[in-house]
Amino acid sequence: MALLELKDVHTFYGNIQALKGISISVDEGEIVTLIGANGAGKTTTLMSICAITPLRSGQILLNGKEISRVSPNKIVKMGVSQVPEGRRIFPQLSVSENLDMGAFLRTDKEGIKRNMEEVFAIFPRLAERRNQLGGTLSGGEQQMLAISRALMANPHLLLLDEPSLGLAPLVVQNIFEVIQKINKERKTTILLVEQNANMALKIANKGYVMQNGIIKSADTAAHLLENEEVRKAYLGL
């Protein structure tokens, strides 16, 4: 059974339809990527999963349970955590305080302490800057902090929205290596929205190509990397 399923999801912003009946499936343990141009509906898909942008019709299932009408905070409690586009850390809080905010809904103090040490092990640079204000970090460090904050909720499903946006190539490489590490070592399922289609497809199990609010194609990541239309449109080849 899939960990996450979207079935014929329609989402609107006022009278403007952003998602036009999309259906995707994410199995437990997978990295699944959504690729597509700006405005394709990728971010809206993540926002719909988190109930931040309510869907007009369709179903979203988590472990087979309908979550389409569940509040965002309860979805987090059910094991879904999102790293938003643009990072959106708390600039006036320290690194440690940002991480504490990620664990806001948790009450298991020992588990929180253990998870904080785990994210510091994943990102040693954050450990060195644990008392530094988030707003003084570099762009790459802020992305590390945004990912770490999401991990502090101890999610089963991690939603990543454009983690490579605005970062230098070496930092991007490091971020994608960490995504793989989180997936393999923490056993965290990942739904990745990414404009860097080449990098995303190289680490994903399968992918969906979005265009104008619909799923244009779906296949294994390896097959999409070899797909001539995808290569021309999204890989620059």
Domain boundaries, given as residue ranges, for the chain: 1-79+156-237, 86-154
Query: What is the structure's pLDDT at 182?
Result: 94
pLDDT at 235 over 80: no
Prediction pTM value:
0.92
- CA–CA separation, 199 and 184 (whole Å): 17
Mean pLDDT for the stretch of residues 98-112: 89
Instruction: Work out the mean pLDDT of the chain and round it to a whole number.
Output: 92
Query: What is the structure's pLDDT at 79?
Result: 94
Sequence-distant (≥ 6) Cβ neighbours of residue 163 within 8 angstroms: 83, 143, 147, 175, 176, 179, 192, 194
The architecture CATH gives domain 1-79+156-237: 3-Layer(aba) Sandwich (3.40)
Cα dihedral across residues 30, 186, 176, 85: positive or negative: positive
Query: What is the structure's pLDDT at 105?
Result: 84
Token digits for 37?
């141009």
Token digits for 87?
């990072």
pLDDT at 13 over 90: yes
**How many CB atoms within 10 Å of residue 31?**
24
- Helix 139-151 with 109-122: angle, nearest 10 deg: 150
Q: What is the pLDDT of residues 56-81, one digit of tens each?
A: 999 999 999 999 989 999 999 999 99
Query: What is the structure's pLDDT at 106?
Result: 84
Query: What is the structure's pLDDT at 234?
Result: 78
Bridge partners (DSSP) listed for residue 26: 4
Q: What is the pLDDT of residues 205-234, one digit of tens each?
A: 999 999 999 999 999 999 999 988 888 887
Mean pLDDT for the stretch of residues 180-195: 94
pLDDT at 236 over 70: no
Q: What is the pLDDT of residues 127-175, one digit of tens each?
A: 999 999 998 999 889 999 999 999 999 999 999 999 988 888 888 898 9
pLDDT at 1 over 80: no
pLDDT at 237 over 60: no
Q: According to the 3-state scheme, what is the secondary structure of the chain?
A: CCCEEEEEEEEEECCEEEEEEEEEEECCCCEEEEECCCCCCHHHHHHHHCCCCCEEEEEEEECCEECCCCCHHHHHHCCEEEECCCCCCCCCCEHHHHHHHHCCCCCCHHHHHHHHHHHHHHCHHHHHCCCCEHHHCCHHHHHHHHHHHHHCCCCCEEEEECCCCCCCHHHHHHHHHHHHHHHHHCCCEEEEECCCHHHHHHHCCEEEEEECCEEEEEEEHHHHHHCHHHHHHHCCC
